[in-house]
Structure 1
Amino acid sequence: MTTALVPPGPRGHPVLGSIREIQRDNVSAFMDAFRHHGDIVNFRGPLRIQLLAHPDYVQHVLRDQHKHYPRPRKVQGCLSTIVGDGLVAAEGASWLRSRRLTQPAFHRDALRRFGETFTATTAELLDGWQRRGRDAGPVDVKSEMMHLSLANLARALFKTDLTEAITRIEPAVQRALAFTHRRMTSPVDPLRVPSQGRRRFLDALGTVNSVLHPMITERRRTGGSDDLVGMLLGATDPETGEAFTDAQIRDEVSGFFVAGHETVSTALTWTWYLLSLNPESARRLRAEVDEVLAGRVPTVEDLPKLTYTTMVVQEAMRLFPPIFVYMRCAAQDDTIGGYHVPAGRWVVVCPYVTHRHPEFWDNPEGFEPERFTPARSADRHRMAYLPFGAGPRKCIGDSFAMLQMPLVIAMIAQRFRLDLVEGQHVVPEPAISLRPRDPMWMWLRPVEETS
């Protein structure tokens, strides 16, 4: 009988193992470990985890054996603190019920109605940029994309303009997510320790809830089903006939709101950053937009023709996947790639690493949207690219994001070229999402002045 081996990995500190490196910058820690130790890496210390990089191993955990790899209770608990017990944080039967109830609202055909919402909100952003004038200075594109995605999500969820509330919600969500990330990687739960950070976190949750909960209550009172909340209010479980309670609606909406805008805004921000660094790709994007749209506002029907625009978004999410890590816990002893995975061990799938695996990606650090053409994608491992996760728990909002982002990119490219201000040191910040750590300052160049 062959005994499964313990995976290789960094030696780390004799007591703390690699926890300091993981807490400081888990993306760099995981990428370095993959380069030095291969497709499965064992990390020692109080945070005992195994990193899985190969798509075969990713498929084993996220799809083939997903029932034996639930999320760690600690991760589930941290998420439920900010989004309740809805789809984002739930496990088991509770998750399955939420998925059945919410799935119809997020079907791609049902979401097509929001195309005009996305383009109307983007037009308002562009008109504001136009009014700034030439001498207004650069803009923080990270903040601009955050405002845009929040506005789009609010209008899709509630058919409501949250412009006035966004200035309060945006920093509150960022504080909540940053604190939650610290909780996930800390041996001592900071929520149990009285501190200024804990107080700020609870205040942030209060701010978000003070905006969302009254809107849900009012939406229940007024009825209707022409927005996402209305569709959820009218949803029934196809197997039991049960509907969401008010508390469950609040949890689902909180999850969509917190997770949905963060991932979209982050992906849009990185897209503009990469286009600025790759002017030939930016020129090809503008050429496609000009040819397909001829100056008019895009519609959902244009998306099949905006192929390069969509590939640009896909490539940006390959290099900077908004959700860059998925954590699971082995419910029983297992063997992956000939290596032992003991029951109770956390396993980590890191799309940032898998998206750079040289066996599946030529020039893995290069920005090449053309790698997503049908011909070049045909034989690629299905689990080599997972910006929205994979398996049964694949993000329910993937169609929502991929409907919204190409429309936004096309509209902005019609009117402006975004150039990164020279001298910036752009650093990814691995929190719940992989966003730029600092403001992303960019010059807005009207297209008519750059052609």
Structure 2
Amino acid sequence: MMRRAPGPRPHQIPGLLRLAVSDPLRSMYQTVSRYGDVVRVPLAPGRGIHLFCRPEHAEHILVDREQRYGKAFTYRPLREWIGLGLITSDGELWERQRRLIQPLFSHRRVETLRPLMVASVERMLDEWDRRPDGTVVDATGAMSGLTLDIVGASLFGADLTGDRDSVYHAVETLQDAVTKVIKNPLTWISPRAARRTSPGFRQWDKAKDTIDQVVARVIADRAEGSAGPGRQPAGRDLLDALLAARHEDGSALDPRQLRDEIVTFFMAGHETSATCLAWTFYLLSTAPEARARLEEEVDKVLAGRPPGPEDTEQLVWTRAVLNESLRLFPPVWTVERDAAADDEVGGWPVRAGDTVITPPYLVHRHPGVWESPEAFDPARFLPERSAGRSRHAFIPFGGGKRGCIGNAFALIEVVVALAMITQRYRLDLLPGFEPVPKVTVTLRPLHEMAMTLRRRVP
């Protein structure tokens, strides 16, 4: 008889699935607490879901044996929204897309976009300066507007400042809708049927149209030669590369593929960074000593100027704060793959057709790797405390060939934003408000993160 990983018995599965639908994080915590770092949930004869929670499991699935695993069935509803872009595609199509786009996200190339990032943060800070001291803002919405501005200017040469509110609410609606569809059993059969039988699908269509209209305008403006503030020279940005891309037969990307690629980077490029920044300001508001150290570093290293490439290595605590925020609240909180071939992970068998889940949210909080894993402690990312730690104990951008292509872009973006905001403002959470995670495609705060803006005098 084949060895099986520990897990619930058949009569326990309905209750477990109900909890997974209502509270996925609690469900995972309870399951791992009861059965250990490896759990198998049998869902059908010959098919199961496996939960793997250790860094070496992540390394095996995402790096060492990545060719044995493809995008999981849970990506199907996402394809209904963003199409077959780099996040949702697989196989030969994914390989072509990756070859086309990878050079645009090299560290050297992304550094040329830094002035556009700085200009976007300056525009937001100038808006804040016109408000009375003590104004209350929704940090999640504010960071979404900022990162949308950055993505529009740096990747698509477009001014999206007028689209902030509509895009923010459209993304929220679509994430909620995708999550509902994933929880619908019909997802296993037909994602389109699942969407039509999930509550709120009409709002889904309206939100998707909002995004598509913005993307269509961006393409049309480029065709007409229009540009957003500080646009890169022709041929330099992502949109230019997509418009110039050619298949082996010399044909250009068809309109549908062009749309899918733009929507993918349009959404992924701003949503995850916005979520990271919002959680970071929340965590800093609860840790006065960590925030004071951040302010001291920013004032000393930058002396009032924007952060340049030469400052990145000096902003050690700034980067540690952001890494600790990504550890506790990874925007991409779970990574799921379907096994294309039989395998063995950590000594436990995985059969072709099984789904494996490696959640960064749990890997980042594994008590065997992280001391006091629930605590906000940026010092754990300082060099002297990071030595010897598995690189796959911290996987906010995934890993291996399928790791996030935009990680260099995102890290420069959030360092620039955090440093420049800290130079001029403190954000304090309103008394009595405690944000909780909202589990959708990304790990957003459940409610508006109301914070008070206070001007700093360095």
TM-score bin, normalised by smaller chain: over 0.9
The one-letter code sitting in structure 2 at the alignment partner of 1:119 is V
Aligned amino acid, residue 275 of structure 1: L
Q: Unpaired runs of 5+ in structure 2?
A: 226-232
Helix, strand or coil at the partner of 1:344: coil
What CA distance in whole angstroms lies between the structure 2 residues aligned with 1:323 and 1:255? 14
Matched with 2:3 is: 5
Q: Write the letter of the residue equivalent to 1:345.
A: D
Please tell me whether the aligned partners of residues 4 and 338 of structure 1 are also in contact (alpha carbons under 8 angstroms): no
Rounded to whole Å, the distance in 2 between the matches of 1:268 and 1:235 is 33
The 10-residue stretch of structure 1 (53-62 or 269-278) with the greater mean CA deviation from structure 2? 53-62
Change (3 A) 1:282 1:4: farther
Alpha-carbon distance in 2 for matches of 1:122, 1:438: 24
Q: Which residue of 2 aligns with 1:100?
A: 99
Query: In 1, Cα distance between the equivalents of 2:154 and 2:108?
Result: 14
Alignment of 1:185-334 (within 5 A): 185-189=183-187, 191-192=192-193, 193=196, 197-220=200-223, 222=225, 224-235=234-245, 244-334=253-343
1:66-106 residue CA offsets vs partner (Å, 9 max, x unmatched): 1111112x333222211111211110111011000000111
CA distance in structure 1 between the partners assigned to 2:14 and 2:255 by the alignment: 44
Q: Distance in 1 between matches of 2:443 and 2:197?
A: 28
Matches within 5 A, 1:45-56: 45=43, 48-56=48-56
- Conserved 8 A contact 2:80-2:192: no
**Partner of 2:396 in structure 1?**
387
One-letter amino acid of the counterpart of residue 372, structure 2: N
In the other structure, the counterpart of 2:69 is 69
Instruction: Compute the displacement of 1:280 (Å).
Output: 0.6
CA distance in 2, matches of 1:154, 1:324: 25
Q: Secondary structure at the match of 2:23?
A: helix
Q: Secondary structure at the match of 1:445?
A: strand
Q: Partner amino acid for 1:130?
A: D
1:149 to 126, 147, 150: 147
**Structure 1 stretch displaced more, 10-19 or 337-346:** 10-19
Matched, 1:374 2:383: yes
Q: Which amino acid aligns with 2:104?
A: A
Question: How far, CA to CA, are the matches of 1:408 and 1:118 in structure 2?
Answer: 8
Change (3 A) 1:15 1:7: closer
Given that residues 71 and 88 in structure 2 are in contact (C-alpha distance below 8 angstroms), is that contact kept between their aligned partners in structure 1?
no
Tell whether the 8 Å contact from 1:5 to 1:339 is kept in structure 2 after alignment: yes
Change (3 A) 1:27 1:12: farther
Residue 86 of structure 2: aligned partner: 87
Q: For 1:172 and 1:133, how far apart are their aligned partners in 2?
A: 29
Equivalent AA in structure 2 for residue 423 of structure 1: G
Which residue number in structure 1 is paired with residue 175 of structure 2? 177
CA distance in 2, matches of 1:208, 1:279: 39
Deviation at 1:277, TM superposition (A): 0.8
8 Å CA contact 1:18–1:43 kept in 2: the answer is no
Question: Cα RMSD over matched residues?
Answer: 2.2
Relative distance call for 1:194 and 1:188 in structure 2 (3 A) is: closer
C-alpha distance in structure 1 between counterparts of 2:393 and 2:249, whole Å: 37
Give the Cα–Cα distance (whole angstroms) in 2 for the partners of residues 241 and 392 of structure 1: 27
Alpha carbons 1:12, 1:18 under 8 Å: kept: no
Contact preservation (8 Å) 1:16, 1:44: no
Structure 2 CA distance for aligned equivalents of residues 286 and 361 of structure 1: 26
CA distance in 2, matches of 1:162, 1:173: 15
1:380 Cα shift?
0.9
Map 1:107-118; keep pairs closer than 5 Å. Answer: 107-118=106-117
Change (3 A) 1:11 1:113: same
Structure 2 distance, partners of 1:65, 1:305, is: 36
Q: How many angstroms does 1:301 deviate by?
A: 2.8
Between the aligned partners of 1:90 and 1:103, the Cα distance in structure 2 is 15
Counterpart residue number, 1:140: 138
Q: Is the 8 A contact 1:416 1:444 kept in 2?
A: yes
1:131 aligns with 2:130: yes
- The answer to whether residue 9 in structure 2 is matched with residue 16 in structure 1 is no
Between the two proteins, the alignment pairs up a number of residues equal to 444
SS of the residue 2:128 aligns to: helix
Q: Secondary structure at the match of 2:388?
A: coil
Whichever residue aligns with residue 228 of structure 1, its letter is L
- The residue aligned with 2:228 is none
How far 1:226 sits from its partner (Å)?
3.3
Of 409, 430, 448, the residue aligned with 1:439 is: 448
Q: By how many angstroms is 1:298 displaced?
A: 2.0
Is the Cα–Cα contact under 8 Å of residues 183 and 191 in structure 1 kept in the other structure? no
Decide whether aligned partners of structure 1 residues 191 and 247 sit closer, same or farther in structure 2, where only a CA change above 3 A counts. Answer: closer
Q: CA deviation at 1:48?
A: 4.3
CA distance in 2, matches of 1:67, 1:186: 29
Q: Which amino acid aligns with 2:202?
A: R
Which residue does 2:354 correspond to in 1?
A: 345
1:385-421 Cα shifts (integer Å, max 9, x gaps):
1000001100001011001001100011111111111
Specify the code of the residue in structure 1 equivalent to 2:62.
L
Tell me the secondary structure at the aligned position of residue 102 of structure 2: helix
| Whole-angstrom distance in 2 between the partners of 1:443 and 1:76 | 38
Please say if residues 318 and 352 of structure 1, whose CA atoms lie closer than 8 Å, have aligned partners that are also in contact: yes
Partner-residue secondary structure (3-state), 2:186: coil
DSSP-derived class of the 2:234 partner: coil
TM-score of the superposition, structure 1-length normalised? Answer: 0.93
> Match of 2:125, as an amino acid?
L
Task: Confirm or deny: 8 A CA contact 1:17 1:45 kept in the other structure.
Answer: no
Map of 1:428 onto structure 2: 437
Question: Sequence identity of aligned pairs in percent?
Answer: 38
* Larger deviation, residues 285-294 vs 74-83: 74-83
Amino acid at match of 1:115: R
